[in-house]
């Protein structure tokens, strides 16, 4: 079931989404969020998180960075929850592979 959901989302990303104007105000996009949630927590629990994300994506919401929680909880957005995570200012994907100091520097003798 998990593989079926992941294939359907990838189909949407490759065949349908490119023909629609960009409209997602969250990072990552709702489809990328759903892929991560389903991959991390399985079809049922990840699917629930994806549906809750789609419900948050409404005209009067501010959007912003909304990563998939590290631990499963339907209430991770509430401060009273044991699984509560504070919203991040930097997306989780940017933190996974930090750029080393050597990679970030220009070659010797090259002036930028």
- Over residues 11-47, the pLDDT tens digits come to 999 999 999 888 888 888 999 999 999 999 999 999 9
Q: Kindly report each contact of residues 85-89 with a partner whose C-beta sits within 8 Å and lies 24 or more positions away, as own/partner.
A: 89/65
Share of the chain above pLDDT 70, in %: 68
The residue with greater pLDDT, 41 or 60, is: 41
Task: Reply yes or no on whether the pLDDT at 51 is more than 50.
Answer: yes
**What pLDDT, on the 0 to 100 scale, is given for residue 84?**
62
Q: Distances from the Cα of 54 to the Cαs of 25, 51, 77, 99, 112, in angstroms?
A: 11, 5, 15, 32, 43
**Reported pTM:** 0.70
């Amino acid at each position: 079931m998990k593989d079926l959901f992941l294939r359907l989302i990838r189909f949407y990303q490759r065949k349908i989404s490119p023909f629609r104007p960009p409209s997602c105000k969250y990072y990552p996009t709702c489809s990328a969020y759903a892929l991560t949630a389903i991959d991390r927590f399985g079809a049922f629990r990840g699917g629930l998180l994806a549906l809750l994300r789609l419900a948050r994506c409404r005209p009067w919401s501010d959007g912003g960075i909304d990563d998939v929680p590290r631990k499963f909880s339907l209430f991770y957005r509430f401060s009273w929850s044991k699984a509560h995570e504070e919203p991040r200012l930097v997306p989780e994907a940017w933190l996974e592979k930090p750029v080393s100091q050597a990679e970030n520097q220009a070659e010797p003798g090259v002036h930028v």
